[in-house]
Chain A
């Protein structure tokens, strides 16, 4: 009886030393453990970054932006609707991918939805997102799960936010938040 359970490992033991830092066991941080000063400082920064998202991308993600990109990112963040006319190869998808990740990172448990004519077309954003993830370590550390195959495009962040693709068809109704 005892023998059959000899090799049993609970999740703490099983995942100790696991390469995924968020799967690996660690002590939980409770509210009181973070000092009030630390929280206030962080809230200050979050306020600053939420209201100046281009700075968040530059500082935390470490992505260098051109001036027009800074302007676009800023207005895409604060305006309800944003229209731009841009030529080909002016990094439109790349910028949208960046903004989606920044929004998802700064607002926990948010759902960012990329709407395109077809689901596959929306998947282009995820290709850019994948390259961003590979190029910038601070973006990679935020991402928990990333799927970008022919049928499914999905990105889950450690803070519970998701980025997903919805086609702009009758079937896409109800999935837009």
Chain B
């Protein structure tokens, strides 16, 4: 259709917007379906719009959007070119898909990227990371791990692993007993095993052996679901009062030497002074003390408010 409407090859009509445009406004292509003109039938402006639309549909995941664009325009999708395009975009500010297509067309033959989409690399769309995931990964990898944590879990883990292990152990402790060192050690091993399984699964390796080991560990620690119904297996069989009693059999269950510790955490005593002692004193002795100590809300008053002088627009 494009060919019949215009005889002038330099002024071809875009199949998307219908406007006649110069040859320079069309990307070249080596795909067999565009072999006659050796260019795409869609102009560069329309491809810009198309990429913008794909970005929105993929929640602004650049890799996914490029992947779909390549799929539609029959270009090979190559990860290394995507990374190179990203770097160049950061420097020059050019739109990333333009850089990508230019690179594919310029170096495709030299680097054997292939000619069509089928020749390129395939992305597992389901497991592709979003930009948010990448951001979280970056934040996690920048966390500083202190030595205590390293001694507790052992060396050789990434910061992300340490965070996962800590969260996992906290979850286990919420639902299972972890009162003595033996229980703690087993729960620790379980957490590490779960991490192994996660990592292996992420790299598409078989996890059956690790799963078996995890099940054995859970059986040893009596935390598998089969043993959950046995009396005294879980936390639900404890009572706070009994814990207090257990401790008081051997030592005082209160820091009695630190009499001021945790006293009046909600600040009731100033309230008592202002609104109970003072009125009763007035009533009984006849004195007229109407002074209310405003320091009762001291915490709120201590909040500093920054006022930017001279920038008031009201």
Please report A residues at the B interface, Cβ cutoff 8 Å.
16-18, 21, 24-27, 29, 31, 33-35, 38-39, 42-44, 46-48, 50-52, 54-55, 60, 70-71, 74-75, 104-109, 138, 141-142, 157-161
Stretch at the interface among B58-66, B95-103, B205-213, B259-267: B259-267
**Residue B255 is within 8 A (CB to CB) of chain A in the complex:** yes
Inter-chain contact A29/B241, CB cutoff 8 Å? no
A–B pairs, 25, beta carbons within 8 Å: A16-B231, A25-B231, A27-B232, A31-B249, A33-B179, A35-B179, A35-B184, A43-B254, A44-B255, A46-B247, A47-B254, A48-B262, A48-B265, A50-B254, A51-B261, A51-B262, A51-B264, A55-B265, A75-B268, A106-B244, A108-B245, A108-B248, A142-B241, A159-B241, A159-B242
* Contacting pair B254 A35 (CB below 8 A): no
Contacts A25-B231, A39-B247: A71 and B239 contacting too (C-beta < 8 A)? no
Q: Which residues of B contact A51 (CB under 8 A)?
A: 261-265
Max count, chain B CB within 10 A of own CB: residue among A55, A108, A142: A108
Residues of B within 8 A of A43 (CB): 247, 251-255
* Distance of B108 from chain A, by nearest CB (Å): 62
Interface residues on B, range: 20 to 34
B240 to chain A: which residues have CB within 8 Å? 60, 105, 138, 142
Which residues of the partner chain B approach A107 to less than 8 Å between Cβ atoms?
Answer: 244
Secondary structure at chain B's binding surface: helix, strand, loop or mixed?
A: loop
Starting from the known contacts A21-B231, A42-B244, A42-B253, 6 additional A-B residue pairs (CB-CB under 8 Å) come to A29-B179, A39-B251, A47-B258, A51-B263, A108-B253, A159-B242
Footprint of A on B, CB under 8 Å?
179-181, 184, 231-232, 237, 239-255, 258, 261-266, 268, 271-272
> In the complex, A106 Cα to B237 Cα: how many Å?
18
A30 to chain B, nearest CB (A): 9
Instruction: Pick the contact of B262: A17, A52, A106 (CB < 8 A).
Output: A52
CB B216 to nearest CB in A, in angstroms, measures 22
Name, among A46, A60, A138, A160, the residue most crowded by chain B CB atoms within 10 Å (CB to CB).
Answer: A46
In the assembled complex, how far is the CB of residue B239 from the closest CB belonging to chain A, in whole angstroms? Answer: 5
CB–CB A160/B262 < 8 A = no
CA distance A64 to B192 in the complex (A): 39
Pairwise interchain contact A34-B245, C-beta atoms closer than 8 A: no
**Chain A residue at smallest Cβ distance from B181:** A35
Contact A42 to B245, CB < 8 A, known contacts A35-B179, A51-B262: no
Known contacts A21-B231, A35-B180, A42-B253; A47 and B245 CB within 8 A of each other:
no
